[in-house]
Amino acid sequence: MTRRDLSPEFDLRIADWLEDDPDDAPEAVLDTVLAAFPSIPQRRASRVPWRFVTMNRFAQLGAAAAIAIVLVGGAVLVLRPGGNVGGPAPSSSSAPSGSAAPSALSSAAAATSLPSLITARTACDLLTTTEAAAQAPGFGAIGVLSGDGADTSCRFANGGGDGIVTVTLTSPGGRAGFTTATAVSGVETIDGLGADAVYDAKTSTLSVAKGDALATILWGSSGDPAATRRAVAMQFARLIVPRLPATTGAVASASTDAVPVLARSYTSSRHGFSLKVPAAWTVTPATAAWPAGTDAASPPSPMLDVFRDPSKPITLAVVSQPVAAGVTNAKWLSTYEQSAPAMPAECWPPVAQMETTTVDGHPAWIHGDSAKCVFTEAIVFAGGRVYEISAYVPPGSEPISRPLFDALVGSVTLDPGAADDSH
């Protein structure tokens, strides 16, 4: 490529143009420069550790505007049709620098909130690069967004490309995801973050929910101490929670009956299972076995593990018994289906018409769950035992909300070998 010779007056023309103190640039130019920032590579000397220069958003906008002004100025002077660098000055019809129209810089700055006041629209809005870089001193950070709409993810990485923290945002629809997170066996309920929160030590994932918005935070690698991974995730959560989108309109209405956090764990040595219920619920352990070959009783009964919601007329009961030798799941269900002929068909349908699912990986059938029924029940087979998980309400009441029932059942872990049928 040959070098283009410029007029000796080039520097003077640039100086004269900048002397007018231009403060405006076409929006398209500024947008292009801003979009290019994350992808601009930087060279480094082999002896100097490479790092990103982290800037707050106002500094980025200012730098972008300055670059845009120089680019536009150079383009006007060098590429102006019909002229050269030494040609006539720009026409006086150009807009004066003192125009009342807002500049590209001032418009962009006005639309940018301070970090502590940000309401996130994507996962990358939940943290600044400076905040992420604080966990990787000396290397800076960049955020890479993926996903769109209600589900986005942002991976913050350092100059070497190593991940620092990954944050996801689900809004609206996050409450359902949080319900799923709370139902995972072994998760820890976290208090003091200003939002519902649970930590899964198995995956080192912290989930925080406010209204119908959910953020998940994953920091560190398998080589980092477990306690450190938990502590750093909570540091990020304290920054993220105030920025979670506010729940408004129809979403707020839909979440008024949101599933509460399942914070209380219970293990039944009688029936061989464990589950989680809301912290305020009362628990009454079973004191008697469910004899094989008999129908299970309804509450109150000493053979039931019983969980009650003190604020609503909801009673959850769990009971199990051994399945007799030679009796298949289908045979047991068929006999059970015929045991309540007086029940409405929609509450006690034929087995083939029951909803099927799994509980803790084992086959299950669900029935009830209707305004005509006073129960919603899951029947589960595991390890030679049958479990009945039933939610009761008073006659004439609406059944337990299905999201709550699904969350309760989803928290169940079955341990048939631990059941005690001796007395």
What 3 state SS string does 384-404 have? Answer: CEEEEEEEECCCCCCCCCHHH
Q: What is the dihedral of CA 330, 332, 335, 340, to 10 degrees?
A: -110
Average pLDDT over residues 165-194: 87
Q: Is 418 left (phi over 0), alpha (psi -120 to 50) or beta?
A: alpha
Q: Which residues lie closer than 8 Å to 44 by C-beta, 6 or more apart? A: 50
Residue with tokens 């398209």: 28
- In a 10 Å sphere around its CB, with 0-12 CB exposed, 13-18 middle and 19+ buried, how is residue 332 labelled? middle
Q: What is the pLDDT of residue 302?
A: 94
Least confident of 243-252, 331-340, 357-366: 243-252
pLDDT, tens only, 310-329? 988 999 999 999 999 899 98
Domain with CATH 3.40.1000.10 in the chain: 259-418
Least confident of 38-42, 259-263, 341-345, 394-398: 38-42
Q: What is the pLDDT of residue 158?
A: 78
Q: What is the pLDDT of residue 16?
A: 60
Candidates 24, 34, 25; CA nearest to 57 is 34
Q: Is 47 helix (H, G, I), strand (E, B) or coil?
A: coil
Percent of the chain with pLDDT over 70: 67
Averaged pLDDT score across all residues of the chain = 74
Edge-first strand order for the sheet with 385-392 is 282-284, 305-309, 314-322, 385-392, 375-382, 362-368, 355-359
Q: How confident is the model at residue 47 (pLDDT cuts 50, 70, 90)?
A: very low
Q: What is the pLDDT of residue 372?
A: 77
Q: What is the pLDDT of residue 53?
A: 36
Average pLDDT over residues 273-286: 95
Average pLDDT over residues 344-368: 87
Tokens of 57: 């958003």
Q: What is the pLDDT of residue 9?
A: 53
- Cα radius of gyration rounded to whole Å, the chain: 32
Q: How confident is the model at residue 172 (pLDDT cuts 50, 70, 90)?
A: confident
Q: How confident is the model at residue 269 (pLDDT cuts 50, 70, 90)?
A: very high
Q: Is 216 left (phi over 0), alpha (psi -120 to 50) or beta?
A: beta
- pLDDT of 164 over the 90 cut: no
- pLDDT of 160 over the 80 cut: no
Superfamily of domain 259-418: Mog1/PsbP, alpha/beta/alpha sandwich (3.40.1000.10)
Query: CA dist 363 to 254, 263, 378, 386, Å?
Result: 31, 26, 10, 10
CB atoms within 10 A of CB 325: 6
Higher per-residue pLDDT: 70 or 177: 177
Q: How confident is the model at residue 294 (pLDDT cuts 50, 70, 90)?
A: confident
Task: Answer whether the bond into residue 172 is a cis peptide, omega within 30°.
Answer: yes
Q: What is the pLDDT of residue 171?
A: 87
Q: What is the pLDDT of residue 327?
A: 92
Tokens of 234: 């909570």
* Cα gap 378→376, rounded to integer Å: 7
Architecture of domain 116-253: 3-Layer(aba) Sandwich (3.40)
Q: How confident is the model at residue 267 (pLDDT cuts 50, 70, 90)?
A: very high
Candidates 286, 307, 303; CA nearest to 295 is 303
* Cα gap 239→129, rounded to integer Å: 12
Q: Is 179 helix (H, G, I), strand (E, B) or coil?
A: helix
Q: How confident is the model at residue 57 (pLDDT cuts 50, 70, 90)?
A: very low
- pLDDT of 121 over the 90 cut: no
- pLDDT of 150 over the 80 cut: yes
Q: What is the pLDDT of residue 395?
A: 85
